[in-house]
Amino acid sequence: MYLGDYDIDIIMDKSHKLLHSSIRKVRVVPGDTLASNCFVMDPPSTNQIEGVPMEFTIQSRDHLGNYRTRGGDKFQVNLDYFGNNVNNRPLMADDYVDVIDQDDGTYKVIVKNPLPGKFRLLVGLDDGLIPGCDPFDFSVSMAPLPRVDIEFEDFAPNSSVVQYRATVTDLTQSQPSHSNTRYVSVVCNKPLRQLTEPIQAQIEKEFQNRFAEWMKESRKNIFGKIQKANEQVLNDADNVDDTFKQDDAISFYWGNVDTIDDQLKCQQLKNDYNTKLQIEEWYQISDPVNYVTMTDSFTDWSNYEEFMRRKKEEEEERKRREEQERRQREIRDEQRKSAARLSLMNPNAFNANPRLCSVNFWMTIAAMMRQCKEKNPNGINLDEYGFIRQYDSSEMTVKEMRSPDIYNVARKVDIKSYGDFLLTSAQRHFFEMINEFEKNTVPSVYAVIKPFLMNVGKLTFDRFKHVHTVLLKIVNNHNNALTLGGTNILSEITTEMKDKVKPLIQGFKRALLSILLDAVNDLSHVVKARSPERIDDKQIEKMSSAKCTFFKLNLNELYIGYQTVMAQELSSISRKIMVQELQFAKINQKELQQTTPSYSVQVPINELFDRYLYAKKRSCRGVKDRNRSGLVNPYKVAYIKENRVVFEAIRSGSLPAISVQERATRKAIAFENAVELLTVLAANHAKRFTREELQTFLHNTEPLMVPFTSLSLLTPFFVNDREDRQVMEHQDALLDAIKQNAVNQITLDIHDNGPPINIKVQFQEPCLLNIGVNVVIKTFMCGIGIQRAINCRSSGMRLFEKKVQKYRSAVGHAKHSLRVQLIAYVNKVFPEHSRETQIYRKRLMDRISRVEQVFGLLVKEEAAAMSQVNMMEYELNQKQLQLESRITTWLDKFDSVASVEYQYQFNIKSIVNEIMSLHKRIYSCEIKWEERYDELEQVETTFVQELFTSVKQIQQTTNPNFPVPPGWIEYSELVKKERDLQELYNDLRFLYHDGMHEKFTQGVIESTDVKDIDNYSVPVRILMLSFMIGEQAHFGCKSGKDRTGEAQDQCMEFAEMREQFGEYPKVREEKQKFNEHRKQIHTSIAMNAGSMDIIRVNVALPGSKMDKSVAGRFLPGFFVKYKGLSSLDNIAYANKDKEWDKYEELAQGL
């Protein structure tokens, strides 16, 4: 039967045609393909060219010879490669053959001809081979070299980069496509003045020669891959390497050359250019080409010169830092050796040279810093230009400020981080709500509804994710005018950005709260619908209002619970040791190599402070989480200069639980916090001594004496969160804990790799002061009165003065002992019979006699004054006892503002005024003989300089082995220490007794007397003196972040000024001398030295809430930057949902 359509007729009785709908036409189609009947429609030539595909078409036919019109046959191909001789053992090259089914009965065969040589092709089906390919032997001749066109890109004169396009014309393409072009960049070590035609010709010639070599090498690579494929077939037929397959869009030549690694090609080109290019300006350079790159597209090298300059600077900076670290290691090694040789001392003995920090403190911190950087050698950039680098470990964060004029300002990434924190808080709120719901629901009811809560949670968290994505789109977009702006996520926050951020955060908060409210409604619906017991709206409302903090039925109440969750979230954050490496330019010298490094260290009071006191605790109480016990925001802070700790103190928030209204509970929590603070102070003091020194307390009943001064910066005014009550409860809690001997022994780690040590402790002369730095109320006297009452107590300012005087006296006696040695030295080494030394001896004896004379007058005048002072001191003590009795009664009145004022006016004010009058009389009496210290410092300084000059001259001129004076370096240091002490002490007493600290209100100067005085002048000098005399210094405000941070910044500023200029700033000249250099120091410390980081970990935002009274200490424009994003901390949610809807719409287009 032939192919075609047929009609079928059925005849019945040879006459009738049977008609029925089931009888249809019949079509006859070709049968299955028979290999022997197939044929090649366009037989190819037996002579082929490498790289030019050989193509032909197979027509399939069935066993009757009918042409098939449909595809679907699976032709099998076998391509063998014999090299140049058909007698060789063939290699399978099947992967270079493709059979394309054209769905019309024809099949296109493409052989890619990868190499020159002899090939055999077989094509067939399961029943045999097709004629013409049974087999088909053909030869492939080597392809001719292509035309390589070189076109140079625009060259800027004196550039270090030459870039050109290398385009290869394929055998089959008259117009080469972009895929046949590569961009080659030659990066030179020395810039070229001009890219002349002769230079271009040389570059072009070398590339063309190298391309020919690459073609030869590529054939070896292809042959090797064919061999590898055959080996793999023998081993594992299912694991054939097909990496030699090429992209059809790439030309044959580039396809072959791409089998060679780009890095190798670039290295070969570099070597060719370095050895063969003849360029006159490169004659003196051994390797003029630095490196070569090869890319598929144009490379923009316009910023390369700037990049190379910065790279060179970074390399120089790296070498400088390595040298600096090497020197520091040497110093630390020497410190370690000196610590091993440390002379033993009695920790309880009063000493003119007290230990000022833990024995191993800086060595331990420096070792941790080194390990942190080794684990993260590159760190992360915190600014756009890489000048602020951060390194992190599980225990420490190190920030490097790589230039004196770099500041850690608020950036867009901080908004993203705050959004992440708000999201985490919302998620935690949901879980707290579920836990609360379970706690306040009958178990049988909760068991029924529990399965449905999963669906509510999933929906809620999906919606959280959506609104958070909207926030991230807006923050991360830098091009749309309606978003925040900036160039990238590390862009600095501007005033314009702040204006846009506030409504964004308010809207985001409302969106989160709305989702939480919907979750509450969903939960309520589930309870009413699924509960086995009848529950209606009234019962749910009753549960919400009476028992729950987080399960609330309106946004306002939900927000209160949300704030609680935020506070708890911040308290749960793991806190690390923070170290900031600062660079300060020496005055009038701005070069980088003239900078002096400083280190600011903040150690959180948790396991990182002491692993036994705080075992497995890495968090600290946050400033907003004040309804339970725990020190608020506690840190040990230190400032290191040239590997010396030049300031150290403990900082924290106030002790009372200010969120608690019930007095007894609040008092109990304050007492617990006082006990913790005293334990920390005792432990920090014990860490200053070695195990051997502390062992003495284990064998006798004597406790370790812990001297300390605690300075509160609270402003006792009832309007501001009842800071008047806070300061009194803070002081009272500390005094109660000391009186009850609540801390009498501690177990601590002294960081010497030994076991814990347990010692008895006792607090010695605790001094509790209050200097408000924010607001002093003018309409009521009570604000000032509370502060005066505290400072007039037996633990107040007079006690602090006496402790400084006691230490000053110890320094004086230590100097006197050393002078006796120096007198004996002068008499011994400067004999009278030697004419050469008589002049030196006479001059030195005149100097030292004058010192002894002034010292004798000082002692005599002090003794005369003390007879009057002792009488006034006795009267002062009696009145302080009366004050203590009255304060005990007064404390009970502090829950009522009116009662506090009334009690002060009629019971406290008079005795306080009497004590202040007596204290001022004592000051007036002491200041007269203390003026002798100025004269003593002058004559002692002259004597030390004279002694040094005399010995040096003799050693240089006549006797190089002339002996050095014994103890003269220690004597010189004591002279400087006494001068520093006296300067700070004189300024402190002048400020305090003149009442300067009481003349500020809201940052506005109240009197012309203090227009040049800073409102932190008194606190800073108290803290510096407390550290200097070897005490434990503690300070804090309500939250322990803003005012506390400013006090820390100014203490570190004082320490830096002392190191740079050899003296502390004098109070009467402080603001007149507040030049740009000092403003830069304060700006750098305030923004970079840790206070901002402590604020960030407390409220999840960078930025201080300090008022404008400190603005003059900053460089112009930087006080606003110092404020940062602090305005976002307490903002509530938006008033309407549409405030967020506009951001939803905006995000859809981003």
Closest to 861 in 3D by CA, of 932, 929, 936, 802:
929
Checking phi first, is residue 105 left (phi over 0); if not, alpha (psi -120 to 50) or beta? Answer: left
Number of Cβ within a 10 Å radius of residue 539: 15
Q: In whole angstroms, what is the distance from residue 378 CA to residue 389 CA?
A: 8
Q: What pLDDT shows up at residue 1029?
A: 95
Q: What pLDDT shows up at residue 1002?
A: 39
971, 976, 1026 from 805: Cα distances, Å: 19, 16, 12
Q: Tell me, which fold does domain 35-141 have in CATH?
A: Immunoglobulin-like (2.60.40)
CA angle 669/674/677 to nearest 5° reads: 130
CB 185 within 8 A of CB 295: yes
Q: In whole angstroms, what is the distance from residue 452 CA to residue 458 CA?
A: 10
Q: What pLDDT shows up at residue 1108?
A: 78
Q: What pLDDT shows up at residue 1069?
A: 65
Q: What is the mean pLDDT of each run of 10 residues along the chain (1150 residues)?
A: 69 59 73 92 92 92 90 92 86 91 94 91 92 92 87 87 87 56 88 87 90 88 84 46 43 80 89 85 78 87 72 73 69 57 78 88 89 86 88 94 88 94 93 84 76 85 93 88 85 90 94 92 82 75 77 88 92 95 72 70 96 92 89 96 93 91 90 96 94 84 93 82 87 95 92 87 95 62 81 95 94 91 85 70 88 90 89 94 92 83 87 94 91 89 89 83 86 92 94 82 42 80 96 94 94 92 79 74 94 93 86 89 91 89 86
For the CA atoms of the chain, what is the radius of gyration? 44
What is the three-class DSSP state of 391?
Answer: strand
**466: Cβ contacts below 8 Å, ≥ 6 apart:** none
Q: In whole angstroms, what is the distance from residue 147 CA to residue 124 CA?
A: 39
H-helix or E-strand containing 1121? helix 1118-1123
CB 151 within 8 A of CB 182: no
CA angle 1107/1110/1115 to nearest 5° reads: 120
What is the three-class DSSP state of 1139?
Answer: helix
CB 742 within 8 A of CB 675: yes
Say if residue 288 is preceded by a cis peptide, omega within 30 of 0.
Answer: no
- Give the DSSP letter of residue 626: -
Please name the residue that has the structure tokens 């955060």.
Answer: 505
H-helix or E-strand containing 401? strand 396-401
Number of Cβ within a 10 Å radius of residue 463: 18
Please name the residue that has the structure tokens 């010639």.
Answer: 205
Q: What pLDDT shows up at residue 1010?
A: 41
With b for 16 or more beta-carbon neighbours within 10 A and e for fewer, the 1082-1095 pattern comes to: bbbbbbbbbbbbbb
The domains of the chain are located at: 35-141, 147-302, 412-572+1131-1148
CB 808 within 8 A of CB 981: yes
With b for 16 or more beta-carbon neighbours within 10 A and e for fewer, the 813-833 pattern comes to: ebbeebbeebbebbeebbeee
Long-range contacts of 699-704 (CB under 8 A, 24+ apart): 701/760, 702/348, 702/760, 703/744, 703/745, 703/759, 703/760, 703/761, 703/762, 704/347, 704/348, 704/759, 704/760, 704/761, 704/762
Q: In whole angstroms, what is the distance from residue 317 CA to residue 582 CA?
A: 14
Q: What pLDDT shows up at residue 329?
A: 67
**1060: Cβ contacts below 8 Å, ≥ 6 apart:** 584, 586, 587, 596, 1081
